[in-house]
Structure 1
Amino acid sequence: MSTEAPDVILEEINNKGIITLNRPKVLNALDLSMVKKIVPALQKWEKDGKVCVIVKGAGEKSFCAGGDVKNIVLDGMKGGKLGHEFFREEYAMNGMIGNYKIPYIALIDGIVMGGGVGLSVHGKYRVATERSLFAMPETQIGLFPDVGGSYFLPRLKGKIGSYLALTGERLKGADLLKAKIATHYITSNKLQDLENAIVQCQSASEIERTLDKFSIQDNNPFVLEPVIDKIDACFSSNSVEQIFERLEKDGSDWAIKTLGKLKKMSPTSLKVTLKIINEGKKLSLIEALQVEYRVAVGCLSHHDFYEGVRALLVDKDQNPKWKPSTVREVTDDIVDRHFARLSEDKELKHKL
């Protein structure tokens, strides 16, 4: 008999569904096995009319540090189709969470990046702590802010979403609440008390009152407040080249640092990301995820995704060789190919 711990722990307590992501050694990175366990549980609990669903991560370091892209790339290098299946199932799950009919509460303590954002941000309640660390760093690996990033990021205040999407900038603690990524903020030593209190709630309104009672205010200014006008001015362009030009013209320490960060990212990813963020603002979550799936399939057939994951997660030399290597070499045709409609049998279908 196997003594290996399950990658997802599913519990039903007092008419509540509780999901624990249980891969703490890999920061609860999300893989296909986990998605295939979570989705049926969410479907069942919604149908059963549970009072709410709570999702959390095992250990104290991470809620979920993202999708397990390393194995997707290793499989893809051998001609496998794991990436196609994983992204299809993951995005369908993101759409389900965004349209869930009972309260969905994500306790986003610790690292919440990539796929972890998709598991939390579309739910009704997202509870951050002082240990929360948010980022969508996909342009660093030749991907784009997926899992519904093209839907929620452009709906953040001003151009914060474009800035976070292109730079992969990290936000910590109470800044997740100030950016409207989290809905509530508590100290991590109160998490268990909060969970215990929610488990005793008998209605959606009682859950909301409980979350509000536990939530605390942080009186420090939002970390991006000093540069918010610069972000809006520099990232309001529809072209990556012009964003670069505006940052160069600005010339402040922040602008120089931001430009340096952008120049390390996949040039193709930057252009694909800007386009998908601008388009996502006009789409529903379901529509945005369908576009994202087409773009993900495009990335699975493009050099940069494999190269980015190789450099960051496989060989770990931190020295990706992007193709094309500069933003100016990334033509509209290269970008548009990522957005091409798939054959009808391959398009993302949502069963909501």
Structure 2
Amino acid sequence: MQRVMAMRLRLLQRPVRIVAQSNAAFSTKAPEFSDIVYGQDTGVRTVQFNRPEKLNALTLPMAMHLTQRLHKIEANKTVNAVVFSGNGGKAFCAGGDIRALADNGKDPATRHGEDYVADVPKSQALKGQGLGTYLALTGERLKGHEVIGLGLATHYLPTSEYETLVHYLTGLEFADHVPQEQRDEMIHEALEELETDEAFQEIDPEYLETVESVFGALNDNDTMEGIFERLEKLNTEWSQETLATLKKMSPLSLKVTLEQMRQGAVKTCAECFQMEYRMATRMMENPDFFEGVRSVVVDKDRNPKWSKRDITKVTAKEVEAFFKPLDKDQELILYPSATAVTEKEE
């Protein structure tokens, strides 16, 4: 409460008008597209993913619809912030809808190009270092304070402060002469006022060193076999649990992912998009992807039958095939942002 009161006093001292939020003032248009609900108020737009039964997983129509809307919002100079949320309380967004992707992937006519939703390149995110490789191979997730500690986000707020944040953001009104830098700084200060001590927890440096010693690219024998050997030699609770997790994964996918991380560390973001599009296209032609979706999402028996028994059965030639160029009519086309349509926001 003290943080909120301090924030209120500081904001009132600045050249900005605080408007009390009410149900009447905050308008939410009847959604043209029910999977995403858009809201608006002075200076703020809200975007809520609305597929709670699917943990708000993104589909291609959702991505296309959202992209068009964001281009319009970007062109609107009166918008100071866009707040994203997920309906249902269980998940913000589970990522791409792999069930839909698997269903489409069974048909060669819908396997390529238009049915692929590009995500932020995983190989670019952490530059192929030990922690990035660990996350990519195991599927482990970072917690809020860990994301802050690694410099991957600027602020962390607990869920309990979400409504308070939206309330203050929707109350900010800037005069036309206020420069963008000052607007950004005021929003930044509003976020800082709501941050809790949890945001400033340090990541255990010993843990990071251990992860690097196992998954880092500078290790001798930088292969999946080498990673398995280092985990076995370490023989700690963490290494045993990590090894058990890796042994459940598709051996082919593990080796392809490791190669992805190593190549991605020296590529540009655009090159990573192209590389990962080739990988994804090839993965859609491999039975392991469909088997993984079946075991986790469809039948939920969590007992997949992979195409390779273990990592020693996966050859370098099989891995290399995932990174070869596609036919010209199947390659990913990246358009400059300047070509984006910037229609007037409704």
Asked if Structure 1 and Structure 2 have the same fold, meaning a TM-score greater than 0.5 normalized by the shorter chain, the answer is: yes
Find 2:168's aligned residue among 174, 184, 197. Answer: 197
The alpha carbon displacement at 1:20 in A equals 1.0
1:277-316: CA deviation from partner (whole Å, max 9, x where unpaired): 1222222322211211111101111111011111111111
Find 1:328's aligned residue among 308, 312, 320. Answer: 312
CA distance in structure 2 between the partners assigned to 1:51 and 1:283 by the alignment: 33
CA distance in structure 1 between the partners assigned to 2:163 and 2:91 by the alignment: 16
1:25-40 alignment, distance < 5 Å: 25-40=53-68
Larger displacement relative to structure 2 (206-215 or 305-314): 206-215
Mark the runs of 5 or more structure 1 residues left unpaired by the alignment. Answer: 92-117, 119-146
Instruction: Give 1:57's aligned residue.
Output: 86
Higher relative contact order (CA 8 A, sep 6+): 2
Whichever residue aligns with residue 148 of structure 2, its letter is L
Larger displacement relative to structure 2 (51-60 or 23-32): 51-60
CA distance in structure 2 between the partners assigned to 1:86 and 1:79 by the alignment: 11
DSSP 3-state at the match of 1:154? coil
The alpha carbon displacement at 1:173 in A equals 4.1
Mark the runs of 5 or more structure 2 residues left unpaired by the alignment. Answer: 1-30, 175-182, 338-346
Instruction: Give 2:47's aligned residue.
Output: 19
1:64-213 alignment, distance < 5 Å: 64-81=93-110, 84-87=113-116, 90-91=117-118, 118=119, 147-154=120-127, 159-201=130-172, 202=174, 203-213=183-193
TM-score, scaled to structure 2: 0.77
1:61-109: CA deviation from partner (whole Å, max 9, x where unpaired): 110012111122122224441564232xx32xxxxxxxxxxxxxxxxxx
- Between structures 1 and 2, the one with greater strand share: 1
CA distance in structure 1 between the partners assigned to 2:285 and 2:161 by the alignment: 45
Q: Residue 113 of structure 2 contacts residue 332 of structure 2 at CA under 8 Å; is this kept in 1?
A: no
DSSP 3-state at the match of 2:197? coil
Equivalenced residue count is 292
Structure 1 residue ranges (4+ consecutive) displaced by more than 6 angstroms after TM superposition: none
1:226-270: CA deviation from partner (whole Å, max 9, x where unpaired): 532221111124311111111111122221221111111111111
CA distance in structure 2 between the partners assigned to 1:294 and 1:192 by the alignment: 41
CA distance in structure 1 between the partners assigned to 2:187 and 2:333 by the alignment: 32
Give the aligned CA root-mean-square deviation in angstroms. Answer: 2.4
Larger radius of gyration between Structure 1 and Structure 2: 2
Larger displacement relative to structure 2 (181-190 or 314-323): 181-190
Give the 3 Å change call, closer, same or farther, for CA 344–200 of structure 1 in structure 2: farther
CA distance in structure 2 between the partners assigned to 1:165 and 1:181 by the alignment: 16
Give the 3 Å change call, closer, same or farther, for CA 84–315 of structure 1 in structure 2: farther
